[in-house]
């Protein structure tokens, strides 16, 4: 990847990481499914009236909207609502980096290098370390739900790569049309009409800002750029960058909610960052060392 694109990807991961804390704030007054539904409703409207429909089969647009909106963010919101901290949720969701690489290899026959396998193993050890966190910020149900969300994100990445829309912003906006109604229906099914009556009576400025942040900087901007990168670069190159999300996610949770960072969480972050470096740059470093050795032999 070009250096400028790497820096842009880092900015996106920072926005995504902080977004977990923003979701936690919104969940104080809004049902998890309704919160996600409002997010994607704002992503779609009114933009859909001004942006031409993407030039891909509608099954990809609808499939992406359902998997991304409902399978990923509806489920992740529910996981955080069970008591899983926003910082830990950002860690668990990064399982998608590994499942995306494996799905990409299976669907597109992309080669996975030994350095990517090694990086994935290191980062997986970092993710596994959260099982030993005992400060009350981890719930078993929350972890399972966010893992399901991670798998959905991987499927969404593959749908995006397979459809290869020329206008990724249009793809994102139009696919968002297919998320709100199923999310609102799930909110009704799990919480009854109270989730909507409580929304009308309890929606405050903090919740509104939470929804706006999730809809625009976090979704419309960040995912449009991310999806463009997925179109331009191999899935196995782009996906590992998402491993930076939990670093910003944990830092955001520390700053906003005063979440503690005991040694085990710090170890998790260190292993994840090391895995990212090995997976992304292991081949380049190895090649550089080989070239240096060859120059030494020639001399």
pLDDT single digits (tens) 67-101: 999 999 999 999 999 989 888 898 888 778 777 77
Q: Which residues contact 179 (CB under 8 A, 6 or more apart)?
A: 36, 37, 40, 41, 44, 65, 66, 68, 69, 70, 74
Other CB atoms within 10 Å distance of the CB of residue 215? 19
- Listed residue (205, 167, 139, 146) closest to 53, CA to CA: 167
Q: How far is CA 193 from the centre of its chain?
A: 30
Looking at every residue in the chain, the average pLDDT score rounds to 86
pLDDT value for 297: 60
List the pLDDT tens digit at each of the 299 positions of the chain.
788 888 898 899 899 999 999 999 999 999 999 999 999 999 999 999 999 999 999 999 999 999 999 999 999 999 999 989 888 898 888 778 777 777 878 787 777 778 878 888 888 888 788 777 766 677 889 989 999 999 999 999 889 888 988 888 899 999 999 999 999 999 999 999 999 988 888 788 899 999 999 999 998 889 888 878 877 887 667 767 777 887 898 889 888 888 777 777 788 778 877 887 787 677 776 676 666 566 566 55
- Please tell me the chain's helix, strand, coil percentages from 3-state DSSP, rounded to the nearest 5: 85, 0, 15
Distance of CA 64 to CAs 180, 181, 265, 284, Å?
13, 14, 33, 34
Residue 260 phi, psi dihedral angles, 5° rounding:
-75, 150
pLDDT at position 288 is 64
Position 277 scores a pLDDT of 77
Neighbouring C-alpha atoms within 13 Å toward the C-beta of 34: 23
Largest separation between any pair of C-alpha atoms in the chain: 79
Contacts for 213 with CB less than 8 Å, ≥ 6 apart: 19, 22
How many angstroms separate the CA atoms of 158 and 235, rounded? 8
User: Number of structural domains, the chain?
Assistant: 1
Tokens of 186: 């799930």
Please tell me the predicted confidence (pLDDT) of residue 152: 95
Domain hosting residue 197, numbered range: 3-298
Tokens at 146, concatenated = 């966010």
């Amino acid at each position: 990847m070009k250096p400028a694109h790497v820096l842009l990807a880092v900015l996106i991961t920072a926005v995504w990481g902080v977004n977990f804390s923003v979701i936690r704030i919104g969940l104080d007054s809004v049902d998890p499914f309704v919160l996600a539904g409002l997010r994607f409703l704002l992503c779609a409207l009114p933009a859909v009236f001004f942006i031409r429909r993407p030039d891909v089969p509608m099954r990809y647009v609808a499939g992406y909207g359902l998997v991304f909106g409902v399978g990923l963010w509806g489920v992740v919101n529910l996981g955080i609502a069970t008591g899983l901290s926003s910082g830990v949720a950002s860690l668990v969701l990064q399982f998608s980096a590994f499942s995306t690489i494996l799905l990409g290899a299976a669907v597109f026959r992309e080669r996975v290098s030994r350095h990517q396998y090694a990086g994935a193993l290191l980062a997986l050890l970092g993710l596994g370390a959260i099982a030993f966190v005992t400060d009350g910020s981890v719930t078993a149900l929350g972890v399972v739900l966010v893992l399901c969300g991670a798998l959905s994100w991987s499927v969404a990445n593959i749908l995006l790569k397979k459809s290869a829309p020329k206008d990724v912003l249009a793809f994102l906006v139009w696919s968002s049309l297919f998320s709100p109604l199923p999310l609102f229906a799930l909110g009704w099914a799990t919480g009854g009409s109270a989730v909507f009556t409580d929304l009308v009576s309890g929606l405050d400025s903090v919740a509104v800002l939470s929804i706006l942040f999730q809809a625009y900087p976090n979704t419309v901007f960040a995912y449009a750029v991310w999806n463009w990168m997925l179109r331009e670069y191999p899935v196995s190159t782009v996906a590992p960058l998402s491993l930076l999300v939990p670093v910003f996610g944990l830092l955001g949770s520390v700053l906003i909610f005063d979440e503690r960072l005991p040694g085990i969480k710090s170890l998790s972050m260190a292993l994840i960052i090391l895995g990212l470096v090995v997976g992304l740059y292991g081949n380049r470093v190895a090649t550089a060392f080989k070239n240096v050795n060859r120059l030494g032999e020639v001399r």
